[in-house]
Amino acid sequence: MEAFDPNELPELLKLYYRRLFPFSQYYRWLNYGGVVKNYFQHREFSFTLKDDIYIRYQSFNNQSEMEKEIQKLNPHKIDIGAVYSHRPIQHNTVKLGAFQAQEKELVFDIDMTDYDDVRRCCSSADICSKCWTLMTMAIHIIDRALKEDFGFKHRLWVYSGRRGVHCWVCDETVRKLSSAVRSGIVEYLSLVKGGEEMRKKVHLSTKVHPFIRKSINIVEKYFEEYALVGQDIFENKETWDKILTLVPESIHAELQQGFQKCHNSVQRWEHLKRTVSTNRAVKNEKFGPWVEWEIMLHYCFPRLDINVSKGINHLLKSPFSVHPKTGRISVPINLQKVDQFDPFIVPTISQICHELDMVSTNEDDGDKENEAEPDTKRHTRDYKKTSLAPYVKSFEQFLEELDKSRKGELLRKSDAQRDF
């Protein structure tokens, strides 16, 4: 496989935007069927160019204008912002205060650095296949709630290209939600609370809300393999002392004693569960299954960045943008195969450009008829010759579903009119 070299990025980007970036699907997404006038035209894009030069408030009239501009600027990173009251490119010509963000997808950002106090394998920007399970659990937990609790249909999950995942909820009604409701949704979905001055970050009560119960069911599937074996959270006194701060003090001595006798994390976890339940039987209601649930959630539950979700005008890295440090493409994650998703086989820009080169050379050896084809037409097929293809395919499936909803909605509206 072609290793990614950041020095080659400018050259690679040229090729990527000219022949591989799925512009037509991308436009089809953000145009949302052209139902609302100027929806795409009023959308903000922002670009990070060479040397971290950052330009905001870009907007385009149509797909080809966007394509041309991106191919001209070759941005190292593309961010998507809100749909505004006016064309963002003209924001300076609008009367102060009149230029307002009006709609945006509801977005979530889950970043591995927020888990640094509970993962032992890596820290800050590093990830490995062990801690990636945190992201797998996060997607399952959040996606279930978005779908079953909130009834959101169109959820696009995307690998950020480095150490986390993003989710774009694209339902028509969701794009119109106020910032207060967006924060409310994040609060509903947050269980791990408190900053550096708070040790115990999960507090359950005796009544367990169905959202929490269903989340625990998901964590249970992964807990032993991920936390007890993989992270070995009860490995030694130092690590289990951290866990003891989450447990009522009256059983610390009993737990310490037992932990010393056990041989591994799995045994120590069993010991903890036994101790809690025997204490519950003889003593009081301070002990219940929620003691162990609090630990499980503390170590496994998704940590969302509320500020990203709350603001309608907040920018988030676009799908299919390239991560400038790793060179990996920000690709959609197939919801049917979340457990199989491996960030380390997500193609880098070097890899797909190389793959394209290989095919092109072979084709050139064969016949020349490709040359006659217009650039755009060839373009639409080129990504299919690379390992980007399956990811574009799942993006297309997502777009199909959006189309279906839109048609259903139109049908419903025209039926309603006929009834009238």
Residue 150 in contact with other proteins, rule: CB under 8 A? yes
Q: Which does 122 bind (CB under 5 to 8 A by kind): other proteins, Zn ion, none?
A: Zn ion
Interface with other proteins (CB under 8 A), residue total 41
Number of residues binding to Zn ion, judged by CB under 5 A: 5
Q: Do 125 and 140 meet the contact criterion of CB atoms below 8 Å apart?
A: no
Q: What are 67-72's contacts with CB under 8 Å, separation 24+? A: 67/17, 67/23, 70/17, 70/21, 70/23, 71/14, 71/17, 71/18
Query: Which of 6, 34, 54, 400 touches other proteins by CB under 8 A?
Result: 54
- The residue assigned the tokens 């086989």 is 345
51 carries an active-site annotation: no
373 noted as active-site residue: no
Q: Which of 49, 306, 338, 389 is in the footprint of other proteins by CB under 8 A? A: 306
Active site residue 111: yes
- Indicate whether 202 belongs to the interface with Zn ion (CB under 5 A): no
The least CB distance from residue 267 to Zn ion, in Å, is: 24
Q: Which does 40 bind (CB under 5 to 8 A by kind): other proteins, Zn ion, none?
A: none
Query: What are the angstrom distances between the C-alpha of 415 and each of 173, 367, 409, 418?
Result: 20, 53, 10, 5
- 131 makes contact with Zn ion (CB under 5 A): yes
Q: Which is nearer to other proteins, 20 or 177 (CB)?
A: 177
Which DSSP helix (H) or strand (E) runs through 83? strand 77-84
Site for Zn ion contains 122 (CB under 5 A): yes
For other proteins, the binding residues in 99-118 under the rule CB under 8 A are 113-117
Stretch 217-256 residues interacting with Zn ion (CB under 5 A): none
The contacts of residue 101 (CB under 8 Å, 6+ apart) are 81, 82, 83, 84, 312, 313
* Cβ proximity of 58 and 90 under 8 Å: no
With CB under 5 to 8 Å by kind, the binding choice for 121 among Zn ion, other proteins, none is: Zn ion
Q: Cβ 24 to other proteins, closest distance in Å?
A: 32
d(CA 297, CA 190): 11
Q: Distance (Å, rounded) from C-alpha 145 to C-alpha 151?
A: 8
Closest CA to 79 of 57, 63, 97, 99: 57
Interacting residues with Zn ion (CB under 5 A): 121-122, 128, 130-131
Interacting residues with other proteins (CB under 8 A): 52, 54, 96, 113-117, 148-152, 177, 180-181, 183-185, 187-188, 192-200, 207-213, 303, 305-307
Q: Catalytic residues, which ones?
A: 44, 109, 111
